[in-house]
Amino acid sequence: MDTAQTTSTREQILDSAWKRFAQYGYGKTTMVEIATDCDMSAANLYRFFKNKEDIGMALACQCLGQKEKRLREVLTRPGLSAAQRLHTFVLTLFHYTYEQFHDQPRINELVDTIMKEYADVVMQHKEMARSLLATILTEGNQTGEFNIPNPIVTADTLMAATTIFCVPYFVTWHSKEEFESLAQDMVNTFIRGLAKR
């Protein structure tokens, strides 16, 4: 099987698995069901993924990669002040999470499994987000917008404060408009506190 066909088949499997996890939950889904959804035998499915956890991990990496791409784009977007970049960063975190998980609460089973079984992957992603936040804060120091003695520590604090906007479990707590308002208020409060006096 050539590389393009292998990639296409893997993508089909991941797409089918995502839909099934969203509808029935991660725990209730079997490899046989995923294979059936892909019109292939379970034996063939095992040629591409060794088990359901392997599929779940591939989906998690795919999601985290998409999220990381969006967040990195915020850092390269021209014409934004550090305050605007921070604001955009937090709203991007929220919008990505909302788009991916709002109408699919059963995906939380997959998220919970990944967080428990593959904590190192989650920590790498959190470190990446923290690093991007620290870059924005350092930029704010350099432009005179912010006065932050330790951007890394402040980035950690911001990460803690933004948890509600980037963890799928919380997405159902408020309407999209309420979450956006909360995110904007939180960022504005931080920006006022970080501003150079």
pLDDT tens digit sequence for 67-104: 889 999 999 999 999 999 999 999 998 888 888 777 67
Q: What is the 3-state secondary structure (H, E, C) of 163-195?
A: HHHHCHHHHHCCCHHHHHHHHHHHHHHHHHHHE
- 96 and 180 both lie in a single domain: yes
Q: 182 Cβ partners below 8 Å, 6+ apart?
A: 164, 165, 174
Give the Cβ contact number of residue 179 at 10 Å: 21
> Does the pLDDT of residue 4 top 70, yes or no?
no
Q: And the tokens for 196?
A: 């150079």
In this prediction, residues 18-33 reach a mean pLDDT of 87
Which three-class secondary structure state does DSSP give residue 106? coil
Smallest CA-to-CA distance from 68 within 76, 56, 57 is with 76
User: Number of structural domains, the chain?
Assistant: 2
Residues 46 and 84 occupy one common structural domain: no
The answer on 181 and 143 residing in a single domain is: yes
- Asked if residue 169 and residue 98 are part of one domain, the reply reads yes
Are 101 and 64 members of one domain?
yes
Q: State residue 120's pLDDT score.
A: 82
More confident residue, 133 or 105: 133
pLDDT of res. 193: 85
Range 37-43 average pLDDT:
90
Q: What is the mean pLDDT of the chain?
A: 86
Chosen domain end from 17, 35, 50? 50
Q: What was the pLDDT predicted at 84?
A: 95
Residue 180 shares a structural domain with residue 141: yes
Structure confidence at residue 138 (pLDDT): 95
Kindly state whether residues 41 and 97 are assigned to the same domain: no
pLDDT the model gives residue 123: 83
pTM summary value? 0.81
Examine the domain organization and report whether 23 and 73 are in the same domain: no
Confidence of residue 169 (pLDDT cuts 50, 70, 90): confident
The first and second tokens of residue 16, run together, are 């089918």
Question: Is 26 found in the same domain as 122?
Answer: no
**Looking at the structure, do residues 64 and 102 belong to the same domain, yes or no?**
yes
CATH of the domain at 28: 1.10.10.60
Give how far Cα 43 sits from Cα of 9, 31, 59, Å: 14, 9, 20
pLDDT reported for residue 142: 93
Q: What is the CATH number of the domain that holds 129?
A: 1.10.357.10
Domain that holds residue 187: 56-194
Tell me: do 190 and 98 sit in the same domain.
Answer: yes
Q: What percent of the chain has pLDDT over 90?
A: 34
**Cα 21 from Cα 13, distance rounded (Å):** 12
Among 18, 34, 50, the domain boundary falls at 50
Query: What's residue 23's pLDDT?
Result: 84
Please check whether residues 154 and 61 belong to one and the same domain.
yes
**pLDDT value of residue 105:** 66
